[in-house]
Structure 1
Amino acid sequence: MSFTVYLSGEIHTDWREEIRRGAEAAGLDVAFTAPVTDHDASDAAGDHLGPQSEGFWRDHKSSKVNAIRTKTLIEQSDLVVVRFGDKYKQWNAAFDAGYCAALGKPYVTLHGDDIVHPLKEVDAAAMAWASTPAEVVEILRYVLRG
């Protein structure tokens, strides 16, 4: 069996690479997709649509352009991993988890135990909560190989 896994959320650490390396080392047939993880490029995704005098409209246009990618890749995935880091509040990650829940798309949350309480509703709709990338790889191993 093969899987497509969308890696959503926090962009300031190498958790995506840890999961990719772990899946490759385990010989898992997984294709990974992700949002644009270059913060400046993501913020500028709508800049080609013309200048805006207010930051809100720049963010609005860029979020719409980014949503084309996010929505499409989530819908095409078999599983979504949603990472919540400890440094920033990832409202976009929470939105992605909610979108998965609305679609009935299975997702796994990935975060430390220090934010279990604020994520209780997000975790309640998830199929699993992992606290390390290695645990995500083990979930994938089990799902793909039994």
Structure 2
Amino acid sequence: MELTIYLAGEIHNPWRNEIREEAVGLALPITFTGPMEDHDRSDQIGEEILGSQLSKIAKDEAASSINNLRTQILLSKADIVIAYFGEQYKQWNSAMDAATAIAMSKPVIIIRDEKLHHPLKELANKAQVVVETPEQALRAIAYIFE
């Protein structure tokens, strides 16, 4: 069995690399997907595909529609979604991806510090597992293969 795991969450932190490296170290049969991690590419993709836009709002909307297409396809193919919430950035995309995955009946693991319990309580209540570190998330997944 091989799993596809979508890594939703902040892009300003090396948490994805930690999970990928540990999965390799444990020889887990996992393919990882996720949002575009190149922030500039993500912001520019609308104009790259659709051409120059008339305003910053139109530019954001164009990029958003293409990024949403990518996200929906990758989420639909995922077996599990891991959503990371850090303290420094507001992760609206992480919350949206986790909520979408829940609506698609995808298993969700939320990574969040205990300090973020209150603002994420409803979302966490719908997730299958809530952990505090990327290592704990991967250990939960490794258990599936035992």
Taking structure 2 as the reference length, the TM-score comes to: 0.95
Conserved? CA contact 1:10–1:93, under 8 Å: yes
Q: Residues 74-106 of structure 1: CA distance to partner in whole angstroms, max 9, x if unpaired?
A: 100100001111111011111101101111111
2:121 corresponding residue in structure 1: 120
Conserved? CA contact 1:111–1:131, under 8 Å: yes
Any idea what SS the aligned residue of 2:19 has? helix
The runs of 5 or more residues in structure 2 that have no matched partner are: none
Q: Which stretch has the larger CA shift, 49-58 or 112-121?
A: 49-58
Q: Distance in 2 between matches of 1:125 and 1:19?
A: 23
2:52 corresponding residue in structure 1: 51
**2:48 is aligned with 1:80:** no
Identity %: 39
1:140 corresponding residue in structure 2: 141
1:92 corresponding residue in structure 2: 93
Taking structure 1 as the reference length, the TM-score comes to: 0.95
* AA matched with 1:26: L
CA displacement at 1:52 relative to structure 2: 2.1
CA RMSD of aligned residues (A): 1.0
Q: Distance in 2 between matches of 1:136 and 1:65?
A: 29
* AA matched with 1:45: I
1:131 corresponding residue in structure 2: 132
Q: Distance in 1 between matches of 2:140 and 2:34?
A: 18
Any idea what SS the aligned residue of 2:31 has? strand
Q: How does 1:34-73 map to 2 (within 5 A)?
A: 34-48=34-48, 49-73=50-74
Q: Distance in 2 between matches of 1:106 and 1:113?
A: 21
The runs of 5 or more residues in structure 1 that have no matched partner are: none
Conserved? CA contact 1:2–1:144, under 8 Å: no
CA displacement at 1:46 relative to structure 2: 0.2
Q: Residues 59-80 of structure 1: CA distance to partner in whole angstroms, max 9, x if unpaired?
A: 1110111111111111001000
Q: Distance in 1 between matches of 2:47 and 2:86?
A: 27
Any idea what SS the aligned residue of 1:46 has? helix
* AA matched with 1:47: E
* AA matched with 1:85: G
CA displacement at 1:53 relative to structure 2: 2.6
